[in-house]
Structure 1
C-alpha cells in the first residue's frame, strides 16, 4: 500500500470548503475540492473517484 497523502493545515477545513463552494473558476474549484476532501480525511482513492482524477493526472 502506498503512502497516505497529508495536508498541512494553513487554513481550516471549513475555510477550504467555503473556497471550494464559492469558486467560480472551474479549475480552481476542482483544486479546492481535492484539497478540501483530503484535508477532511478522505482517502486519495475516494477523492479520485469523486473528482474523476486518477494517478495518471
Structure 2
C-alpha cells in the first residue's frame, strides 16, 4: 500500500479547511505542491493556511 497525500487549504481567517488539493501519490510530490501553493498566496499578499494530510483511499465496493 502506498501513501496518499492531500493538501488542506484554509482561506484567510477561516478555521475549517475549505479546499482539498490532491490526491498526491507520494510525499515528495505533495510537499513540492505545498511549497508552491504557499509561495503563490504569499506573493498575492494572502495568509491562507495549507496543511499536508495523509489519507487512505478506499476501494470502490
Q: Which has the higher contact order (CA 8 A, sep 6+)?
A: 2
Please report the TM-score for the alignment, with normalisation by the length of structure 2.
0.32
Q: Which has the higher helix share?
A: 1
Over alpha carbons, which structure has the higher Rg?
2
Please report the TM-score for the alignment, with normalisation by the length of structure 1: 0.34
